[in-house]
Structure 1
Amino acid sequence: MLSSHSDQASGAAPQQPARSPDSIAFEDIWTAAKGGDPVPSRNAVDLRRFAKFAANMAIIEPDPSALSLPFRLCGSWFFDLFGFDLTGMDYLEFVDPAIKQNAHAYVMACLEQPCGLWQRTPAQVDNGELAQFEYTILPIAKNGGAADHILIFVTRIRLASGEMPTVKRIEHSTVWQWLDIGFGMPALQNTDRPF
């Protein structure tokens, strides 16, 4: 975790963002799943290893030639969060239009120079509040070999009302950092928020 960014006021003392224990445990299981390979194959992402996280996991198959991040698999929690099955839908349809380019670029960077990405991201929900989410994003390979998919683990950090409203739009991340998985980190600027 050598590269990080948070949107704090310029006079504020910098704080190292804290990943949740679940985020760290998810990365540990991802690491075990890859064995001696650079990244785990999609077949290695199975319920025996990932059972604790399965409801909150999704697999996205980025399109390198188009601005598209389609969901290939989604855990049941995503249905509860959005109110419908996201499988086959494009993640970018749910984000603030201003961050679509960055979202795609940062996901592609996770594949081109294999690395992970951790972030805290607010989302507008149907009752008008902002719900805070934690994303842990790690690369995987559909058929082994080079990374070409991403595995995402998403959890809610807080919602003031305690309700479970439906997500309407995903906003800019407020805190993020690259996760070094042994290949260094991309050269994208820290001032560019990923998504």
Structure 2
Amino acid sequence: MLASRESDFRPTGDGAILRSSDSIAFEENWEAARDGRSVPLRRSIDLKSFANFARWFAVIEPARDRQALPFRLVGSGFFDFFGQDLTGIDYLTLADPAIRQLAYDCVIACLEQPCGLWQCTPAKTAEGTLLYEYTILPISKGGDGADQIVVYVNFERPGNGMPAVDRLEHAEVWHWLDIGFGVPKLDLGAFAGA
């Protein structure tokens, strides 16, 4: 889950981590696709408007009957990174078992009280550690309520091509994104350093 071009996503000198301009642009495009609705329709998330994000973009549709987060649409960058098509695969099988329940609960919270989520997660590589930035926002398949999420993944790309990731760590930073309906009371502190 990476960005396809050089990114401005970087930690600041004082140890803080700031959202990248790509993450903000993704949210702005999502906002424009709302067209007066509480969340955009999936069909409004079109290739023309989201072309800059398509490679590292995914749609996940939670399965509430079996507590799963299967990928429904996955950009080509994910295939390059994982070596397989993730369509139909449950995201939770890729997550650390210690945070699966909280990850699921956060996605459901993004749907029930429409809001977004922004996170930074370190990944260990042979060259050191890279930070991955996730921007998560709710969408609707066609009704009035949110029932899917869109995810854009970004990272600080090293100069030597696609990194081989040994291990994804626990998120260092998580923040709710208020899209006009407030944010859930769900405590995200369990993600950081879990």
After superposition, give the CA deviation of every residue in 1:97-137 in whole Å (9 maximum; x if it has no partner).
11111110111110010000001012345x48543210000
What is residue 4 of structure 2 aligned with on the other side?
A: none
TM-score (norm: length of structure 1): 0.84
The alignment covers a number of residue pairs equal to 180
> What amino acid is aligned across from residue 141 of structure 1 in structure 2?
S
What is residue 6 of structure 1 aligned with on the other side?
A: none
Q: Is the CA contact 2:54–2:75 (under 8 Å) kept in the aligned structure 1?
A: yes
Quote the Cα distance in structure 1 between the aligned partners of 2:68 and 2:164.
Answer: 23
2:102 aligned with 1:114, yes or no?
A: no
**Which structure 1 segments of 5+ residues have no match?**
1-13
SS at match of 2:53: helix
Q: Is the CA contact 1:132–1:158 (under 8 Å) kept in the aligned structure 2?
A: no
What is residue 69 of structure 2 aligned with on the other side?
A: 69
**Which structure 2 segments of 5+ residues have no match?**
1-13
Q: Is the CA contact 1:56–1:155 (under 8 Å) kept in the aligned structure 2?
A: yes
Residue in structure 2 matching 1:180, options 178, 181, 184: 178
TM-score (norm: length of structure 2): 0.84
Q: Is the CA contact 1:96–1:169 (under 8 Å) kept in the aligned structure 2?
A: no
SS at match of 1:37: coil
Which has the higher mean CA deviation after the structures are superposed, 22-31 or 90-99? 90-99
What is residue 156 of structure 1 aligned with on the other side?
A: 155
1:46-195 alignment runs, 5 A limit: 46-125=46-125, 127=126, 129-158=128-157, 162-167=160-165, 169-193=167-191
How many percent identity over aligned positions?
Answer: 53
